[in-house]
Structure 1
């Protein structure tokens, strides 16, 4: 029963992460399709959470709010319920997105905190799976940033060819500037929330697993530096409404920060190893 309930929570975490990603896209671009997809995913999350609550009520014979972990779960359920109501009746993308980021954090804390599980085997397995989800999401975000970097490089090449009026087969084989710029932007919109959620899960794992976790660890600081750098890119691209070569160069510089974090800061980290 305990493992079955934790499996429900793990599926819920994955769906919730996709939901937050879509709400982030809607928050930035006012994308109706992303908002509708996020709403239906959030509805599924709410349904799974409700099933879990009733299963716990059946298992314990009481309303499950009598300890901190049960309280966290009910708090998350309340946040999801409020988000669904806001999504249905109000245009409040900013509030909905950040409410669900908080909900995701609380849900992850509840799901992966080992103290609430009676079985040590279940607890250990969940902590390992938390690390797996964290690494997978980090790699996916890095993949999105890498493709975005490629598009920015192609944009720079295309821009220089056009400026120097070098017409030829190379120019024809490249996409037009507006499409290269847009694809680079879209991939960063996907990568930033994915990296944010990965960092949230990574910090939760570190607090559970690492005896001496420090916020000033090189890998932790480097990862937040990457997140801030790409967030600045999105701010300049959306709020300042800047496009063109300068933004492409900023994106290239952001990817260099990512590489420094991955190769240099990773080697300097006191605890961040792939085999942890």
Structure 2
């Protein structure tokens, strides 16, 4: 597989992805079901192309493609697209697909147009089942937290529309507040244990194979901080100490801290590959 072929595949996929997001935006603004259906089928085709690329890449490299930051971003985008299609199919919540894929498109663009970084030799040297499980679990957890963030964001939008008594088709297409809050909570319930598993396995792998590993590494401390605040979010929700708009704002703040840890703390890590 040549680099030129991979580049063309990425560019074609991101063009289709952009058209899909634009159609979803048009549907969001004008309640156009034809645009919604066209956007859904385009997004499904994007998912097929992404899946095909991942499979071809795995055959070509003989490993699961999550060992470098660029590979991780691509897999993260695939997780977001997969989740959004499932949600659209099972729950029929159109706006979730739109907001999720705005985020997914941004990550996909970063992956596609970022400068190529050297890392193949390093990635080959650190292959192990433990590392693959660690990275995959962490990315799946990040995908779940991303969806939880988007549901909380929609909660705030719906809350403000109701408070201002702005009625209309857009309001009716957003689920009720209770449903939005419950789904955001369920995604956190799914993601918190996944992140805990990822951290445990990552520390175990690093203590054996990473010569620069120290327990007070910024990325490790930041990840445990993320786990702690999401744990607090779950505790506040379960004990009803924080509900409604309060828990939605808390959840949004948790996700922003997650993003800071993912993009900033890794730059100061002594053993995470950039």
Normalising TM by the smaller chain, what interval? 0.5 to 0.7
Distance in 2 of aligned mates of 1:242 and 1:250? 9
Give a deviation string over 1:112-132, Cα, whole Å, max 9, x none. xxxxxxxxxxxx999622111
Contact 1:207 1:213 (C-alpha < 8 Å) held by counterparts: yes
Give a deviation string over 1:138-157, Cα, whole Å, max 9, x none. 00000000000000000000
Number of equivalences: 151
Contact 1:145 1:255 (C-alpha < 8 Å) held by counterparts: yes
Matches within 5 A, 1:78-157: 128-157=128-157
Which residue of structure 1 aligns with residue 201 of structure 2?
A: 201
Contact 2:161 2:167 (C-alpha < 8 Å) held by counterparts: yes
Which residue of structure 2 aligns with residue 258 of structure 1?
A: 258
Which residue of structure 2 aligns with residue 220 of structure 1?
A: 220
Greater C-alpha Rg: 1
Give a deviation string over 1:143-187, Cα, whole Å, max 9, x none. 000000000000000000000001112101101000000000000
Distance in 1 of aligned mates of 2:173 and 2:240? 31
Contact 1:141 1:192 (C-alpha < 8 Å) held by counterparts: yes
3-state SS of 1:167 partner: coil
Contact 2:212 2:270 (C-alpha < 8 Å) held by counterparts: no
With the length of structure 1 as denominator, give the TM-score of the two structures: 0.53
Which residue of structure 2 aligns with residue 65 of structure 1?
A: none
Matches within 5 A, 1:1-276: 128-273=128-273
Which residue of structure 2 aligns with residue 5 of structure 1?
A: none
3-state SS of 2:128 partner: helix
| Gap change, CA 1:252 and 1:171, over 3 Å in 2 | same
Q: Which runs of 5+ in 2 are unaligned?
A: 1-123
Instruction: Tell me the CA shift for residue 212 of structure 1.
Output: 3.1
Distance in 1 of aligned mates of 2:147 and 2:244? 17
Distance in 2 of aligned mates of 1:128 and 1:228? 28
Which residue of structure 2 aligns with residue 34 of structure 1?
A: none
With the length of structure 2 as denominator, give the TM-score of the two structures: 0.53
Contact 1:127 1:205 (C-alpha < 8 Å) held by counterparts: no
Give a deviation string over 1:1-31, Cα, whole Å, max 9, x none. xxxxxxxxxxxxxxxxxxxxxxxxxxxxxxx
Contact 1:144 1:188 (C-alpha < 8 Å) held by counterparts: yes
Contact 2:217 2:270 (C-alpha < 8 Å) held by counterparts: yes
> CA RMSD of the aligned region, Å?
1.7
Distance in 2 of aligned mates of 1:238 and 1:273? 37
Instruction: Tell me the CA shift for residue 267 of structure 1.
Output: 1.4
3-state SS of 1:186 partner: helix
Distance in 2 of aligned mates of 1:272 and 1:125? 14
Which residue of structure 1 aligns with residue 39 of structure 2?
A: none
Q: Which runs of 5+ in 1 are unaligned?
A: 1-123
Contact 1:155 1:180 (C-alpha < 8 Å) held by counterparts: yes
